[in-house]
Structure 1
Amino acid sequence: MADHAHHDSVRRSYDTVAEEYASRLHDELAGKPLDRALLTCLLEQTEPGAAIADLGCGPGHVAAWLAEKGARTVGIDLSAGMIEAGRRRFGQVEFREGDLLGLPAGNGEFGSAVAFYTIIHLNPGDLRRAFEEAWRVLRPAGLLLLSFHIGEEIRHLDEWWGHDVDVDFRFLEPAHIAGLLEAAGFTVEMRMERTHYAHEVETRRAYLLARRT
């Protein structure tokens, strides 16, 4: 079973920083050309007319970018504060409060899904379940685009932009994540690594594109 205390601390932490997060990062994709290219790749391969899920959407800036390109997007996040911040800013996105381990979505509802720096907050034992949930809500042959920090460390924050928080950022190994995706019923079609951009935290980042089989 999921660690509810862990979930609650993540939720409270993101509720606490939601407004500042939304203000600081609303336009972050403007400085991330590789991320934009991968999102464009996802868009081009999504079944026409099918919605795209942004899992762990935060204030919804990624979903909003996709919506600007003509996609129908649904942002899902654990944090009610993030959902509220997104709704105020991005009326073109449908927002739902929900958990990666029990997504508020029907079977096969989405043509594709993106999860940028979302699985880094899950306990290791919950990753497989999260991928099985993503598989459930995707249509056959739907795509899942993941990103995460590479490594084995855990970075804990108890202060974030001057706010008191209690949240872990778990670094992950791409081969391990690819194996879990395959076990959950996906075929990994692309793996990419990059260094950080100048304005980002200094970590190496991985991107995996996986197709529901």
Structure 2
Amino acid sequence: MPRASSSSRTSASRSWDAVAEWYLGWSGTRGSIHHRRTAIPLLLDLLAPQPGERILDLGCGPAALAPYIAQRRGTLVGVDRSPKLIEAARRAHRGKGRFLIGDVTALDRVTALESAPFDAATFLLSIQDIDPLTATFAGLRARLAATGRIVIVMVHPCFRVPRQSGWGWDEQRQLQFRRVDRYLTPLSVPMRSTADGRAATRSYHRPLEYYVGVLAEAGFVIDTLREVPAQPVARDSPSPAQRRAETEFPLFLGLRARRAAP
């Protein structure tokens, strides 16, 4: 069973409307460099979308995944709580999917979401912004076909804990290392703030065992796990220690889950 989350319903995931302009300025509607180089290729590899499949993208934001599913002749439906991000998705990806305003933790209340089952559901760097997950996966199970699958790509929770991890340098050993101050305790961490200083978004850290447990509780079993480092970006020449550390400590974790055998 999953560890109980430390976050309460009052601190549950919220709309990113207040920081939509900042997010669109950073990622655009095609995703950031990390989306395009690493996260999206990882998700597509795990998903292996087939022509005609119906994909439900949860926490879709401006729907960076949409053109990739369209290229593979699939149908994407994205759901997000932010009207501004959904509007950006509709403008940028017209004809490449349907984009709905709604709470992914309460899919039964998203009235525009059709009742026909989906072949797969995806979380592209969104699951750590969503709480509670128990309600999310319970609602998702009712929306997936009997052979449906879930693909999750997230910032690696073992090495990238918001405000509780970072890079360090051992001068004596000439070694760059990854420092993790907390891991097992679930955390609700205030992140991006509005101009008046109020926290507008939260990141929900959970240990890996939590994701395994909450998926199992909803009737899913993980069948594939991938750990992927960031792809190099143009910058001043990194030292050998930096290159080694960046290839040894993964930036992203990819999971694929399917329904458990009855």
Give the TM-score of the pair, scaled to structure 2: 0.66
Give the alignment partner of residue 66 of structure 2, picking from 57, 63, 71: 63
CA RMSD of aligned residues (A): 3.1
1:42 maps to amino acid: L
> Could you say which residue in structure 2 is the equivalent of 1:167?
201
| Amino acid in the other structure paired with 1:117 | L
Which amino acid counterpart does residue 194 of structure 1 have in structure 2? Answer: V
Give the drift of 1:59: 0.4
- 1:147 aligned to 2:161? no
Separation in structure 2 between the aligned mates of residue 4 and residue 106 of structure 1, nearest angstrom? 29
Contact 2:129 2:203 in 1 (8 A): yes
**Aligned match of 1:49:** 52
Change (3 A) 1:164 1:172: same
Query: Per-residue deviation at 1:127?
Result: 1.1
Q: 1:6 to 1:42 in 2, by over 3 A?
A: closer
The reply on whether 1:39 has 2:44 as its aligned counterpart is yes
- How many positions carry a matched residue from both structures? 204
By percentage of residues, which structure has more helix? 1
Query: How far apart, CA to CA, are the structure 2 residues paired with 1:25 and 1:172?
Result: 27
Q: CA deviation at 1:174?
A: 2.2
Worse overlay, 80-89 or 58-67 = 58-67
Could you say which residue in structure 2 is the equivalent of 1:183?
217
* Corresponding residue for residue 95 of structure 1: 99
1:5 Cα deviation from its structure 2 partner: 6.3
Find 1:20's aligned residue among 14, 20, 25. Answer: 25
List runs of 5+ in structure 2 lacking aligned partners. Answer: 1-7, 159-182, 234-248
Listed one character per residue, the Cα deviations across residues 112-139 of structure 1 (whole Å, up to 9, x for unaligned) are: 111122221233xx11111111211111
Q: Is the 1:107–1:136 contact (alpha carbons within 8 Å) kept by the matching residues of 2? A: no
CA distance in 2, matches of 1:38, 1:5: 28
Distance (Å, rounded) in 1 between the aligned partners of 2:126 and 2:119? 19
Between the aligned residues of both structures, percent identity stands at 22
State the shift of 1:14 in Å. 4.3
Deviation at 1:66, TM superposition (A): 1.3
How far apart, CA to CA, are the structure 1 residues paired with 2:210 and 2:11?
25
**Counterparts in 2 of 1:176 and 1:147: CA distance versus 1, 3 Å:** same
**5+ long unaligned stretches in structure 1:** none
Q: Distance in 2 between matches of 1:26 and 1:134?
A: 24
Q: Equivalences for 1:52-131 in 2 at 5 Å?
A: 52-91=55-94, 92-103=96-107, 104=110, 105-107=113-115, 109-123=117-131, 126-131=132-137
- Deviation (angstroms), 1:212: 2.6
The structure with the largest alpha-carbon Rg is 2
Once residues 70 and 30 of structure 1 are traced to their aligned partners in structure 2, the CA distance between those partners, rounded to angstroms, is: 19
| Separation in structure 2 between the aligned mates of residue 16 and residue 6 of structure 1, nearest angstrom | 22
Query: Contact conserved, 2:52 with 2:73, CA < 8 A, in 1?
Result: no
TM norm structure 1: 0.80
